[in-house]
Amino acid sequence: MDLRIVHLYPDLMSIYGDRGNVRTLERRAAWRDIAVEVRTCTAGETLDPEWADLYFFGGGQDRGQHLVGADLASANGAALRSAIAGGSAVLAVCGGYQLLGHQYAPQTGPVIPGLGVLDVTTRATKTRFVGDLLAERDGATLVGFENHSGLTTLGPAAVPLARVTHGHGNNGKDRTEGAVQGAIIGTYCHGSVLPKNPWLADLLLTWALRRRHGAVALTTLDDREEDAAHDAAARVARSRR
């Protein structure tokens, strides 16, 4: 069995350790004897919609989002839409998450049209949400570090990734964090999010492997270190006002 990952815009969209998510996916697959190939694709390069099982799209500053938004308005956006329609999974963090929605409206400057594959809309405000986040999903907990001025609201076709217990999440009002639609996961959790949330990493691996290999039951890994890191981050988030 093999896995193909594309890291999108690594030069423009990879802040707060987001590139560690690619490493986590690669290692958790390799520990299960799954051969992994990781490629990158940035603005101006050509995305092959047939190749990748999984795309990672990290966070970035508004400047990077303008450049990436322009690239997504080109053939690469159509290719990514086609890949997603063909069953590729996606993890998008913060700025990448925002650009998979309908649009991202920065505090200043023009609105950036999104890819529209996630039914979410984002507008930036003067308030910046910064700090450790803790949220719950189906009995599991999600930890991460958020740093965004964008407020994201979900439309009916998207469901929240998790419910916030400590921190702000999508908009600081409706207690939702992130979004899920088909095999796309968006989240505001930087950190990197996957090393400290092994359940999320394995969910993405399962979705990605399904594309060319069908249903896969991943072998259980020894996640004591990951769980200890998760619990430490959860304690910090709980200490947050």
Give the shortest CB-219-to-ligand GLN separation in angstroms: 33
Residue number with CB closer to ligand GLN (167 or 202): 167
Strand boundaries in the chain, DSSP class E? 2-8, 35-41, 54-57, 89-93, 103-105, 112-113, 120-137, 140-154, 162-166, 176-177, 179-181, 184-187
Give the shortest CB-189-to-ligand GLN separation in angstroms: 10
**How many Å apart are CA 98 and CA 123, to the nearest integer?**
9
Give the shortest CB-59-to-ligand GLN separation in angstroms: 3
**How many Å apart are CA 135 and CA 161, to the nearest integer?**
9
Catalytic residue among 7, 148, 190, 230: 190
Do 54 and 91 touch, CB atoms closer than 8 A?
yes
Give the residues lining the site for ligand GLN (CB under 6 A).
15, 59-62, 65, 94-95, 124, 147-150
Give the shortest CB-109-to-ligand GLN separation in angstroms: 11
Residue number with CB closer to ligand GLN (57 or 199): 57
Cβ burial 52-86 (10 Å sphere, 16+ → b, else e): bbbbbbbbbebebbbbbbebbeeebbebbeebbee
**How many Å apart are CA 151 and CA 213, to the nearest integer?**
37
Counting DSSP H helices and E strands in the chain, the numbers are 6, 12
- The DSSP symbol for 130 reads E
Q: Is 213 a catalytic residue?
A: no
Q: Is 230 a catalytic residue?
A: no
Residue number with CB closer to ligand GLN (4 or 122): 122
Give the shortest CB-62-to-ligand GLN separation in angstroms: 5
Residue number with CB closer to ligand GLN (146 or 226): 146
**How many Å apart are CA 10 and CA 134, to the nearest integer?**
26
Which residue minimizes CB distance to ligand GLN? 59
Catalytic residue among 7, 94, 148, 230: 94
Please list the active-site residues: 94, 190
